[in-house]
Amino acid sequence: CGELLTASEGLRALASVAEPQQPALAESVSRLGIAFTAVVDDLLARQIKLLVGVLEEPSSSLALLSALSALSGLGLEAPHLGELMSRCSGIRALLSVCIDSRSTSIRTAALRVLATVCCSSLTIRQFEQGGGVEIISDIVADERRPETEVTEAVSVMAQVTAPWVEDNHSVQGLTEQLTVLVSALTRLVNNTTSSPTLLLTAAALCHLSLLEPQCVWRLLECTTAGTLLLAVRRQGPQASVFLMEQAAGLIANMAAVPEARPHLAEHRAMVALLCFLQVRHSPLQRAAEIAAAERLQHKSAIALSRLCSDPNVAAQVVELQGVNRLVRLCKEERERNNSDGVLVACLAALRKIVANCGSKVVEELNARELIEPRLLDSFLLYSSRQESYV
């Protein structure tokens, strides 16, 4: 608190000056902010240390649940809770609860807190050191566990493998657990009737396929892509754009491996991708849904581009009128929400199709400028930010 008081006194003294200098005022306010944050973090760390102590030596099940509930609440209030938890060995304590507790509700609550705090490379490293991947794999693979608990475990796996976590290019123990994880997650996709569970499981599979290079072979063995696409179809009109985005991402990641393309074609992945490309954003949607629709178009076009390296797949896309949609996405900015990323992906897909099926199908749509001379020329012609390149 001494630094906070000093910073406050400095700011008060500066404010009493008739015309304080702006740089000095800004520096003083910054020092006050840093000092205040340090005090809050210190108070939070003390509170967390007490709660972790309860996790390690609970006096009762009720006390344990109360501690987990308090940690969950702190996670909503303090975005950097994970870093504070790591100072107090909180990740290891949560993993111990997941192993030792006989109560489903307690284990579920512990998993929920884990998913909240494992949001940085620092906390994920502690998760690794505590054997977290193996623990989560065992929970997900145990068919006797209730789906609520398994869903929380899947949420943890989706979080620790998420592509947006900085400096998290691999997760220790993941390679050894791939067979168990992919098999269990695929089974959950096939069996669950819960939309949130399906979305979380699809996200975990998509993240795994991006983070772990060996994952694609397990996905092929378990026919995961086909199972997920079937689950999306079962959702019908109720399928969320977020679920479709994860399915498209999984297909795109798998299609990067040439050996996986015949398998994806066999499960009619291109039909699903063409359906995904038809999804449009609406002004009535929330910002998150509009952004997800854009990502869905982008990932679907990338996946199509990779799959269309196979002449048979390219011919099927032509037969299914897929070229029409790709051309429209290129030419009409509003169809792709002014996204240049979607434009590039669609241009690449069109050029793959033309390379295998000839240019006639594009010329019939008066869109020859999309396939020649260079991709950059076509991009500049239809880019939403043409003025930026002049």
Residue 141 covered by a domain: yes
Give me 353's structure tokens.
């199709």
Residue 15 has pLDDT above 80, yes or no: no
Give CA–CA dist 295/276, Å, rounded.
11
> What band does 76 get if pLDDT is binned at 50, 70 and 90?
low
pLDDT attached to residue 388: 46
60 DSSP 8-state letter: S
pLDDT attached to residue 385: 63
Residue 127 covered by a domain: yes
Give me 144's structure tokens.
């006797």
Q: Which domain holds residue 77?
A: 1-157
pTM given for the model = 0.88
Q: pLDDT tens across 303-336, in order?
A: 999 999 999 999 999 999 999 999 999 999 889 8
Of the candidates 136, 77, 87, which has an alpha carbon nearest to the alpha carbon of residue 110? Answer: 136
Give me 230's structure tokens.
């079937």
Of the candidates 251, 143, 158, which has an alpha carbon nearest to the alpha carbon of residue 196? Answer: 158
Residue 88 has pLDDT above 90, yes or no: no
**Range name among 37-51, 86-100, 106-120, 281-295 with the lowest pLDDT average:** 37-51
Residue 313 covered by a domain: no
Mean pLDDT of 135-140: 97
Mean pLDDT of 370-382: 86
pLDDT attached to residue 12: 65
Residue 365 covered by a domain: no
- Look at the chain and report how many structural domains it folds into: 1
Residue 114 covered by a domain: yes
388 DSSP 8-state letter: G
Residue 329 covered by a domain: no
**Overall size of the chain counted in residues:** 390
Cis before 373? omega within 30 = yes
For residue 17, the domain's CATH number is 1.25.10.10
Long-range contacts of 31-39 (CB under 8 A, 24+ apart): 31/7, 32/4, 32/7, 32/8, 34/7, 35/3, 35/4, 35/6, 35/7, 36/4, 36/7, 38/3, 38/4, 39/1, 39/4
Give me 260's structure tokens.
């996986």
- What single-letter amino acid sits at 390? V
Give CA–CA dist 256/302, Å, rounded.
9
Q: What is the DSSP string of 65-93?
A: HHHHHHHHHHHHH-TTHHHHHHHTTHHHH
Residue 106 covered by a domain: yes
Mean pLDDT of 253-277: 94
Give CA–CA dist 90/152, Å, rounded.
18
Mean pLDDT, the chain, integer: 89
Residue 44 covered by a domain: yes
